[in-house]
Structure 1
Amino acid sequence: MTSIDTVIVDDEPKAPTILKNKIERLCPELNIVATCQNAKKAMVFLDTAMPEISGFDLLENIESPIFKSFLLRLLMIMP
C-alpha cells in the first residue's frame, strides 16, 4: 500500500491532534507529515518536475485562487 503524505490545517487548537488520531486509526494509508493552526503562515514547496505530476499540474487542480496565486508566486522564485 502506498502512503499519502498529508498535512492537517485547522484553526482550533485541539482539532489537529484529534483529527490526526482519527486519521491514523481509520486511514492508515495517510501519513501525517505536519499539522498547522494558521494556513496564512503555512508554507508549501512544490517540485516543478516530478515524474507523475508537476507542481504546475497540481496548481491547475486547486480551486482556491488565493492559494493558487501564492503557490504560483513561490514556484516562480525557485530556480
Structure 2
Amino acid sequence: MTIQLKPELEALIRQDVLRGPYRSIDEFVERAVSQLHEQETWIAAYRDELHRKIEEGWQAAERGEMSTEQDVQARMEARKKEWLEQRSA
C-alpha cells in the first residue's frame, strides 16, 4: 500500500523515527495505526457507556458537582488499562 502524506506530517514522522525507538518509518506508521485502531475499538465497545457517563456529568455539572480534568483522565486511563489487560488475557 502506498500513501501520500502532507509534508508537515512526513517531517514529524521522520523526526520521531530519528529520536524515538522506531527502526523505520514503516514501524512508526504500523504502531500509530495499531494504537489508533485499539483506541477506536475501545470507543466503539464503550460508546453507550460513554454517552451515559457524559449525560451524568452534564447533570452533575448543572447541580454544581464538578470533577477535575485530572480526576477524569485518571479514571479513563484506569478503565482503558483494565480493558487492554482483559483483551490480552
Shorter chain as normaliser: what TM range? under 0.3
Instruction: Give the structure-2-normalised TM-score.
Output: 0.25
Instruction: Give the structure-1-normalised TM-score.
Output: 0.27
Larger Rg: 2
In proportion to residue count, which structure has more strand? 1
In proportion to residue count, which structure has more helix? 2
